[in-house]
Amino acid sequence: MGSLDGKVAWVSGGSGGIGSATLRRFVTEGAAVVCSDIDDEGGEKLVAELRSAGGRAIYSHCDVSSLDQVKASVDLAVSEFGRLDVLFNNAATSTGGYVADLDAEGWDHSLRVMLTAALYGMKAAIPYMIEQGGGSIVSTSSIYGLVSNAGNAPYSTAKAGLINLTRTAALDYGRKGIRANCICPGAVETPMLDAVVGMGLKSREAIADMHALGRTILPEEVASLVLFLASDESSAITGQAIPVDGGLLAGCDLTGVPPLS
């Protein structure tokens, strides 16, 4: 018996690092899944892999900045599998710059993909969840939803807003059996981390050393937290923003005292 046996999950940004690791884990735990993305080649390839392993999976092309496309994709999950138990808002984008220099179009796009899209997912999924008596909503925020750094306003603002959107949804629908939580990853081994390293300001080794564990996070480790929040094992947890950051936010080194190694 898997922890998601009989459940149906919809995942945006499904072909990416965290999304694909989560979909693999969901299928292993018995869920039927919808991989939603704009990367058709990557999404179809992943779904073929999941099916070849015996999983129930379909791919749905979906631009999460469009309410109509999100609703159609969530509707597809229900029409294909009969219900919807898990909504994982995971799509992301990246842009930046100093506040006074930000491009308005880039700002708007960032917030639509990482914040408004989660609202769209909730609008599409919650009526189904109410009808069937409950469900779990998980959204990918970030440690940058809890803190920020220079040149990161669009991403940090979207991720911080996502946390309070999630808290509000938890309060709105808790008595309908719907839970809503955020995960807040640190530096995860994904293409987004590759892009950060590619900026040339910090090496991968320097970034890893900032974590209490002395290393970066694997997508599969993030997927384990998503699975827990999606499953009934977390039935008393809602309205939370949970870091999965290897201790990145655990301290602030002002003294230079080295950790034991």
Nearest by Cα to 77 from 32, 118, 127, 141: 32
Catalytic residue, chosen from 59, 120, 128, 155, is 155
CA distance 76 to 80: 6
* Side-chain half-sphere CA neighbours of 186 within 13 A: 21
With the C-alpha atoms ordered 149, 215, 244, 7, is the resulting torsion angle positive or negative? positive
Q: For this structure, is 173 an active site residue?
A: no
Vertex 124 angle, CA 105 and 156, to 5°: 40
Backbone angles phi, psi at 161, to 5 degrees: -60, -35
Name the DSSP letter for residue 61.
E
Q: Contact 125/87 with Cβ under 8 angstroms? A: yes
Active-site amino acid positions:
155
